[in-house]
Amino acid sequence: MVFQARFIVLLPLATSLLAQVLSPVNPAPGLIVKGFANGSSSKPMMTSDRIVVRFKDAVDGDALRAAVETVGLQLVDRGLSGAFEVLRCAPSMTEAWVQWLNAQECVDYAERDPLAHTQVTPTDPLWAPYQWNFYNQGALSNSRVSNYGIRAEAAWTTTTGTGAVVAVVDTGVAYETNGVFIPAPDLVGTTFVFPFDAVVEDGHPNDENGHGTHVTGTIAQRTNNGIGVAGIAHTCKIMPVRVLDASGTGSLTVVANGITWAADHGAHVINMSLGGTSGSTTLQAAVVYASGRGVVICSATGNTGRTGLGYPAAYTQCIAVGATRFDGTKPRYGTSGTGIDVSAPGGDTGVDQNGDGFGDGILQNTFGSSATPATFNYYFFQGTSMATPHVAAVAALVKAAHPTYTAAQIRSAIETSCTDRGTVGYDTTYGAGIVNAQLAITR
């Protein structure tokens, strides 16, 4: 092969060189409430044809340029004080050259050349003060450094979720005008598809609790609309599926029907911010069915504060999601144990670590449990219920960035890109770590 021949030529040349040289508009947030537990950019994250290489010893630029040109590479730039070399190659060969260079003893490292973009800062007025859970590493939340957000802002330079469909299997969503129900003001403009109420078996899954609307906001709250807050995958489509009643409870058979509906109607991702202490054959069969249909299933581990995952999170087909606080630690309510896969911000309304005057919950637009389904405000909720939609939304971003990815590939992208917490590598407190939207879409 030509590719192998080029390697054979470059190796002795490189070795020789090194040997020689080497609702109301802008409302304030609502009460601190404890809960349960414009278009997509096509900007790439990496250049397609540039490789950054650092040799272990200094290399003469002219000699290196002549050597690499013989194998179809170009030396196009050099770091100050010889810090690195930048090579250009055919785009189709970039990854292969990176792998080969990294295998050479004379090379300290080789990597694709990342791109920098202007940051996409939402116009939503409550973004900057309060949505620390979405922030990039090192961003300021009320003058306090936030290092444990999911880096959604950085991911938005590549995708905002267009093309992905996320089913919210929950208490329903405030998404339509229907009798006493009206849409949540900050969800107006979000696209909803194939709605289903599995509780009464009709096509109007209106929220009578507020939980499902809050969860939906984290995934796809309308963003850059000049009011309220932002959502992570804010141009994805939402499939509202009601399986829990006004009290936030429901039988596992109804949940199973909701899962099956979502799988049969084109959902790429299912979010289940719900769970129980025991499973059932019927529920597991529905999860297995959806997984077999290529759906990424994200489920809350529970809010017991003890070891042992709830169901359906305990099923291996689900991405089991734990919760973290502003400081990246597990809150007291967090459930841990074998089988937890990843973590995401779930908040802790009992502390104010960023000093903004509110408990550090997850802020979204919904109605309070004691209010009517037509009285909306912005509420801080906490729980693994709030953590799970972060992961579902990141799955939607990965799907949008890589439309041909299978569910297994999307899951791998999420789990291999997490910001590590706790014991190095996987542990039963944080799983693989806190989800990282910026890196997941590059996997």
Q: Which of 114, 140, 156 is the last residue of a domain?
A: 114
Q: Token digits for 131?
A: 């949505």
Domain membership of residue 193 (yes or no) is: yes
Do 169 and 203 share a domain, yes or no? yes
Active-site hit among 113, 124, 170, 341: 170
| 276-285 pLDDT per residue, tens | 999 999 999 9
Residue 13 pLDDT > 90, yes or no?
no
Do 227 and 138 share a domain, yes or no? yes
Q: What's the confidence (pLDDT) of residue 48?
A: 56
Q: What's the confidence (pLDDT) of residue 271?
A: 98
User: Residue 312: is the preceding peptide bond cis (ω within 30°)?
Assistant: yes
Do 273 and 335 share a domain, yes or no? yes
Domain membership of residue 391 (yes or no) is: yes
Active-site hit among 291, 336, 385, 417: 385
Q: Token digits for 167?
A: 């089913």
Domain membership of residue 34 (yes or no) is: no
Residue 44 pLDDT > 60, yes or no?
no
Active-site hit among 113, 124, 197, 211: 211
Domain membership of residue 330 (yes or no) is: yes
Q: Which of 93, 114, 135 is the last residue of a domain?
A: 114
Domain membership of residue 122 (yes or no) is: no
How long a stretch of residues is the chain? Answer: 443
Residue 17 pLDDT > 70, yes or no?
no
CA gyration radius, the chain? 24
Do 205 and 280 share a domain, yes or no? yes
Q: Which of 82, 114, 146 is the last residue of a domain?
A: 114
CA distance linking residue 350 with residue 367, whole number of Å: 21
Q: What's the confidence (pLDDT) of residue 11?
A: 32
CATH number at residue 151: 3.40.50.200
Mean pLDDT of the chain: 87
327 is catalytic: no
Residue 241 pLDDT > 90, yes or no?
yes
Per-position b or e across 156-173, b if 16+ CB within 10 A of its CB: bbbbbbbebbbbbbbbbb
117 is catalytic: no
Question: What percentage of the chain exceeds 90 in pLDDT?
Answer: 73
Do 50 and 160 share a domain, yes or no? no
Do 206 and 95 share a domain, yes or no? no
Residue 8 pLDDT > 60, yes or no?
no
- Domain of 201, in residue numbers: 127-440
CATH number at residue 107: 3.30.70
Do 90 and 133 share a domain, yes or no? no
| 174-198 pLDDT per residue, tens | 999 999 999 999 999 999 999 999 9
Domain membership of residue 40 (yes or no) is: no
Residue 12 pLDDT > 80, yes or no?
no
User: Binning pLDDT at 50, 70 and 90, where does residue 114 land?
Assistant: low
Lowest-confidence region among 54-58, 222-226, 268-272, 323-327: 54-58
211 is catalytic: yes
Do 236 and 190 share a domain, yes or no? yes
Lowest-confidence region among 110-114, 223-227, 346-350: 110-114
Q: Which tops the pLDDT comparison, 70 or 45?
A: 70
* pTM summary value: 0.76
Do 110 and 133 share a domain, yes or no? no
Q: What's the confidence (pLDDT) of residue 50?
A: 83
Residue 54 pLDDT > 70, yes or no?
yes
The mean pLDDT of 195-219, rounded to a whole number, is 97
User: Binning pLDDT at 50, 70 and 90, where does residue 405 land?
Assistant: very high
**Alpha-carbon torsion, ordered 373, 231, 355, 25, to 10 deg:** -60
Count of domains for the chain: 2
Do 109 and 232 share a domain, yes or no? no
Domain membership of residue 101 (yes or no) is: yes
Residue 224 pLDDT > 90, yes or no?
yes
Exposed/middle/buried for residue 300 (C-beta within 10 Å: 0-12, 13-18, 19+)? buried
Do 363 and 265 share a domain, yes or no? yes
Residue 129 pLDDT > 90, yes or no?
no
Q: How far is CA 338 from CA 386, 416, 417, 429, 430, in A?
A: 21, 18, 20, 9, 10
| 313-327 pLDDT per residue, tens | 999 999 999 999 999
The mean pLDDT of 10-38, rounded to a whole number, is 32
Lowest-confidence region among 14-28, 123-137, 339-353: 14-28
Do 110 and 131 share a domain, yes or no? no
Domain membership of residue 146 (yes or no) is: yes
